[in-house]
Amino acid sequence: MAELVTTDTAEAASAEGAPPIPGDVAELIRARVGERSAPLVERLFRSSLVLEELPDETRGETPDAVPVGRLGGLPELPVGTAWPEAAGRPMQLLAQLDCAALATAFRSTGPGAEGWPLPAEGLLLFFHDEWLSDFTGRGCRVLHVPAGAPPRPAPVVERGTPVVPAVPVRAARALSAPSYQDQELERLFPDDFLVAFDLAQDLAERMPRPEVRLLGWCDTDTGRPEGHRPLLQIGSGALAVDWGECVNVSFWISEEDFAVGRLDRVRHGFEVA
């Protein structure tokens, strides 16, 4: 049974605090790595918000049936804010999310949820280049804008600007665990990579993998930009879109920018089946 190691590793793993771990998952971790190592594994877990379609018949009936924004649609861009472009083409809006509603959902669903890390007012607009032609990560933009502007019509261009059909979404806080690709588990057990691999497999089978997740860890097999964490990830099954062989799109933010709330250097990622 693997047991852990150094003070440096412990301090790094505890940087985000330890959200409450479900009992069955905690037992699984202890069975795999032992009592001494389990707390450091648990400290790697992150809080996230799972975004799901809000059915018409349930809207507004309960707190979890309150929309926090929508996937797709037209952006509410204030006057003077340009529609983002990539290589001279208008980008496609993938999500418009209400910051205050997200913060409320994040804070109101259990202990450990006080530290909402994103803006608490206004809107977050997630645009990407639907041509998926830039492999350097520059094919996206995230804008933080004031709420209240009317929807901006899509720019008139030769091929048109594909608009994703709007899907209102609700949010529920959920724990998110690292995968083996994230390497944090492997770093905890440098002398026995199989322990980290087997634990990652256990967690992948036990923890949910939603189509749309805000914050947390990456649920897909897309590349992970070094020094970055996922900001938003969207599976193609959540939208009425045709991305060809692309199965998901993700937005990545550096740890440095995440710490200070800087959104103008977010990177684009996608996975091809």
Calpha distance 181→111 (Å, rounded): 28
pLDDT in tens, 48-83: 999 999 887 655 555 566 799 999 999 999 999 999
Cα separation of the two ends of the chain:
36
Is the pLDDT reported for residue 162 higher than 90?
no
Is the pLDDT reported for residue 7 higher than 60?
no
- Domains of the chain in start order, with CATH, are 7-272 (2.30.320.10)
Position 57 scores a pLDDT of 60
Contact residues for 23 (Cβ-Cβ < 8 A; gap 6+): none
Which of 16-25, 127-136, 261-270 tops mean pLDDT? 261-270
pLDDT in tens, 191-204: 888 999 999 999 99
How many whole angstroms from its chain centre is CA 1?
33
Position 77 scores a pLDDT of 97
**pTM of the predicted structure, to 2 decimals:** 0.89
Is residue 133 very low, low, confident or very high in pLDDT (cuts 50, 70, 90)? confident
How many whole angstroms from its chain centre is CA 193?
26
User: Dihedral through CA 253, CA 41, CA 181, CA 193, nearest 10?
Assistant: 150
User: Dihedral through CA 162, CA 251, CA 209, CA 4, nearest 10?
Assistant: 170
Q: Output the six-digit token pair for 102.
A: 């997200």
SS3 string of the chain?
A: CCCCCCHHHHHHHCCCCCCCCCHHHHHHHHHHHCCCCHHHHHCCCEEEEEEEECCHHHCCCCHHHCCCEEECCCCCCCCCCCCCEECCEECEEEEEEEHHHHHHHHHCCCCCCCCCCCCCCCEEEEEECCCCCCCCCCCEEEEEECCCCCCCCCCCCCCCCCCCCCEEEEEEEEEECCCHHHCHHHHHCCCCHHHHHHHHHHHHHHCCCCCEEEECCCCCCCCCCCCEEEEEEEEHHHCCCCCCCEEEEEEEEEHHHHHHCCCCCCEEEEEEC
CB 219 within 8 A of CB 210: yes
Is residue 241 very low, low, confident or very high in pLDDT (cuts 50, 70, 90)? confident
Is the pLDDT reported for residue 3 higher than 90?
no
Position 12 scores a pLDDT of 39
Position 153 scores a pLDDT of 93
